[in-house]
Structure 1
Amino acid sequence: MIRPLWLGGYAVVAVLALAACAPSAGTPAPRRTAAAGDRRAGPGTSGPTSAACTRATKVAIVDRATGDGGHRYAFSPGTLTIERGAFLAVTNRSAEVHELIAEPDAGMVTSVLDLAERQVIQFPEAGSFTVRSATEHRAVLRLRVAGESGCAAPEPTLTITGGDTVEPARLSVAATQNFAMVNESAGPQTVTCSGGDGDNSRVDPGETQLLAIDEPGRYTCTSRQHPGLRATVTVSGRRARG
């Protein structure tokens, strides 16, 4: 399974991980993007310090029926505690595009989740936050971010250049290890990886997303907009360690 995410300063989104992706089922909402050069992470760190820095806690936005025959959106689970600088992998399993906001400001970039998309999001600030979906039937996540040690931005990076090529063409990571995908081209890139589970990853111009692949193997990743663009990601069988 491949997963994307989003950081404060990073859109991880989401794979959401150079995740195997499926085309979005609806018209994506406008999104705000992170600058390609933005690599903000927990202060005073130079690399991952624990398992929380190399793998993401999974949460989904789901559609639930109400007693009056209506419906509402909800996070599943609805309450979480993570370490400062750690990551959430948020999957949109509902029938609506969701823009996520945090109250108070959690230091994360505005994230827009298309249908069936998963994004990895990093939370660099400690505190108690309410993460909401800006929709009519908004989903609410109660999030506690605790701890003194932060996580640095992942070093492995794939960059889509202005010539619609990807550099490097080959990348090796451990299972669950976060890595970054940067879109420096002039247009959006919808990434599809062989052997994935249908996750959708759209990376807009100038945007950085955090990606991760859970299962070992060799993945060939291409862009729906530019089929000739391809990168090979080799995922080792051992899980990443902090």
Structure 2
Amino acid sequence: MICCAVVLSLTACAPATTTVAAKRPAGAGPAEATSEPVARRDGADPVCTKATKVKIGADAFSPAKVTIQRGGFLALVNTTGVAQPLESAPDAGLGTSVVDRQERQVVQFPKAGTFRVTSAGATLRVTVAGESGCGAPKPRLTIGRTTELTVAATENFAVINETGTTQKVTCTPDPGSNRDNTRLADGETQLLAIDEPGRYKCARATVTVTGD
């Protein structure tokens, strides 16, 4: 199966830093509590390839409220039978995102806060708190450019449309045997992930997917 995702921001989670604690003098009082930075996770880390599933219905999201960590993902599945636009308030960077019929679109939230995502006349309340350690995926594929990239199975990679027109991206052989495709507006960036190891042709790029 191939799944796509909207990049809400090209800014990754802030890199973690390593801190060495200084020795405390003898007789000193108790040290103040400090928060340690969350370690950055690799793009193939299982934590960064899983998403919380939310269905887009005719008049409601299911569930209607979710809580995820900063840098975490939602998998939005359109069950309405028609393409549905996605918008958020405050702006989470959804831009001109549209979820096609029966498409599963994975959305990353790199910023903390509370967001209202609307689609099909319904509202989804998303609370983003805590740290997942997941940054924006580094592998990139620009539509129209010949390139090669290697990713792990289920690892996200960015697909960028700078062609000036709306484009649909398909991969061959079909990763899910169900004619999956991703529609990107001009200037839009989405994420793709392929579950099965193999060698695929996506647009003009060759994508090699490795196993665990």
The TM-score by the shorter chain falls in which range? 0.7 to 0.9
Residue 198 of structure 1 corresponds to 179
Residue 138 of structure 2 corresponds to 155
Residue 177 of structure 1 corresponds to 155
Q: Which amino acid aligns with 2:11?
A: R
1:43 pairs, out of 11, 14, 25, with 14
Residue 144 of structure 1 corresponds to 127
Aligned equivalents of 1:208, 1:179: Cα separation in 2: 10
Aligned equivalents of 1:87, 1:54: Cα separation in 2: 8
User: Would you say 1:237 and 2:211 are equivalent positions?
Assistant: yes
Report SS of the residue matched to 1:43. Answer: coil
Report SS of the residue matched to 1:211. Answer: strand
Residue 57 of structure 1 corresponds to 52
Alpha carbons 1:99, 1:112 under 8 Å: kept = yes
Q: Give the RMSD, CA atoms, in angstroms.
A: 2.5
Aligned equivalents of 2:182, 2:153: Cα separation in 1: 18
Q: Which amino acid aligns with 1:166?
A: R
CA offsets per residue over residues 61-119 of structure 1, 9 Å max, x none? 13xxxxxxxxx43323333221111122222221233222234x163323222333332
Q: Identify if the C-alpha distance between structure 1 residues 55 and 171 changes in structure 2 by more than 3 Å, giving closer, same or farther.
A: farther
Alpha carbons 2:98, 2:183 under 8 Å: kept = no
Aligned equivalents of 2:16, 2:141: Cα separation in 1: 22
CA offsets per residue over residues 22-65 of structure 1, 9 Å max, x none? xxxxxxxxxxxxxxxxx222234696366433333332313xxx
The number of equivalent residue pairs is 184
Q: How does 1:3-14 map to 2 (within 5 A)?
A: 3-9=3-9
Residue 19 of structure 1 corresponds to none
**Which one scores higher on RCO, CA 8 angstroms, separation ≥ 6?**
1
Q: Which amino acid aligns with 1:76?
A: S
User: Would you say 1:210 and 2:191 are equivalent positions?
Assistant: yes
Q: Which amino acid aligns with 2:190?
A: Q
Q: How does 1:8-157 map to 2 (within 5 A)?
A: 8-9=8-9, 39-44=10-15, 48=41, 51-62=46-57, 72-103=58-89, 105=90, 107-110=92-95, 111-133=97-119, 135=120, 138-148=121-131, 150-157=133-140
Report deviation, 1:125: 2.0
State the TM-score, normalized to the length of structure 1: 0.66
Residue 13 of structure 1 corresponds to none
Q: Identify if the C-alpha distance between structure 1 residues 91 and 237 changes in structure 2 by more than 3 Å, giving closer, same or farther.
A: same
Residue 29 of structure 1 corresponds to none
Alpha carbons 1:183, 1:189 under 8 Å: kept = yes
Aligned equivalents of 1:156, 1:53: Cα separation in 2: 14
Report runs of 4+ in structure 1 exceeding 4 Å deviation.
none
Q: Which amino acid aligns with 1:176?
A: T
State the TM-score, normalized to the length of structure 2: 0.74
Greater radius of gyration (CA)? 2
Q: Which amino acid aligns with 1:237?
A: G
Alpha carbons 1:124, 1:150 under 8 Å: kept = no
